[in-house]
Amino acid sequence: MHFIKSFVVNYFPRKILKIIMDMHDERKGRKNERHFSGDAVFCPCCLKRFGRFMDFSVVPGHIKERYINTYKNSMCPYCASKARHRIVCHYFDANKQTIPQNDILMFGPEFSIRKWLNRNGFRYQTADLFDRTADLKIDIQNIPFPDESYKLIICNHVLEHVQDYKVALRELKRVLHRDGFLEITVPTDRRLETVYEDPSVKEDDRANHFGQHDHLRLFGNDFENILKEFGFLVEVVDGSTLPAEISGVIGPFIYDDNRVYICRNKLK
């Protein structure tokens, strides 16, 4: 079975692979939702209600200590949204008139947010350096498009993976249209005052330092100020102020923060 899955992921044409993966996610979601019937919680990404959200299973490579004293039942059974995705889609619902019909770029083809975009008829492109279901193979540190190419850029939990997050932020600002906005989230440990990164940490020890083996850093409480230093006007959407039914919480890991940053270019 592993061989078959590996063959499909690595060798099937991108469009066919995308269809297969979406069908798999839909089928998995329909199976899961039967076990969480009720109406206590609501997912604005897929518009479904449940008795509660689904627990997140700690898998090998995750550090259990970062899973303590956070909300465990934080994933949507249907679309697998986490708190950050529901906060984003709640914000999009409330500000739909500001979202462009096209010229949208999403780094990381996240199923839950694509559900919202598709349902509302927005045209967008997904981008990723490694995910073959993405429309575009792009390094966020070297975006191959002219200045002001996109009116909305969606970027959730990407900056922790790149070699130089400052280069990535400069690129995001460069390709963002003067009248557009960037929606961005990062893994944030509120016990940290600023970014924690250490290039000397080896890959097999990254999880101990940064939470996951593919993380190169964790962000701290000054991320809003970092965005401002790059010339953005920043609006912080705090999940704790939103309706309790969407469960805009910190979790399942301590760095799965419930703050979403809406960034616009400063007026010139």
* Residue pair 260/87 in contact by the 8 Å Cβ criterion: yes
Instruction: Give the burial class of 72: count Cβ atoms within 10 A of its Cβ; 0-12 exposed, 13-18 middle, 19 or more buried.
Output: middle
CA–CA gap between residue 182 and residue 73 (Å, rounded): 28
Predicted confidence at residue 182, as pLDDT, reads: 98
Which of 10-24, 63-77, 132-146, 241-255 shows the lowest mean pLDDT across its residues? Answer: 10-24
Where b means 16+ CB within 10 Å and e means fewer, 147-158 reads eebbbbbbbbbb
The neighbouring-strand residues paired with 109 are none
Residues spanned by the domain of 164: 2-265
Which of 37-46, 55-64, 175-184 shows the lowest mean pLDDT across its residues? Answer: 55-64
Q: What is the CB neighbour count within 10 angstroms for residue 178?
A: 12
CA–CA gap between residue 107 and residue 121 (Å, rounded): 19
How does pLDDT run across 76-102, given as a tens digit for each residue?
A: 999 999 999 999 999 999 999 999 999
CA–CA gap between residue 10 and residue 19 (Å, rounded): 14
Q: Which tops the pLDDT comparison, 4 or 49? A: 49
Query: What mean pLDDT do residues 131-160 have?
Result: 96
Predicted confidence at residue 3, as pLDDT, reads: 47
Beta strand ranges found along the chain (DSSP E): 41-43, 48-50, 54-55, 73-75, 104-107, 124-128, 136-137, 150-156, 176-185, 196-197, 217-218, 232-238, 259-265
Number of structural domains, the chain?
1
Query: What mean pLDDT do residues 177-190 have?
Result: 96
Rg over CA atoms, the chain: 18
| Residue 69 pLDDT greater than 80, yes or no | no
Query: For residue 187, how many C-alpha atoms fall within 13 Å in the half-sphere facing its CB?
Result: 22
- Token match 């689904």: residue? 54
Predicted confidence at residue 268, as pLDDT, reads: 47
Q: What are phi and psi of 109, to 5 degrees?
A: -80, 70
Predicted confidence at residue 50, as pLDDT, reads: 96
* CATH number, domain with residue 126: 3.40.50.150
* Residue pair 233/264 in contact by the 8 Å Cβ criterion: yes
CA–CA gap between residue 251 and residue 247 (Å, rounded): 10
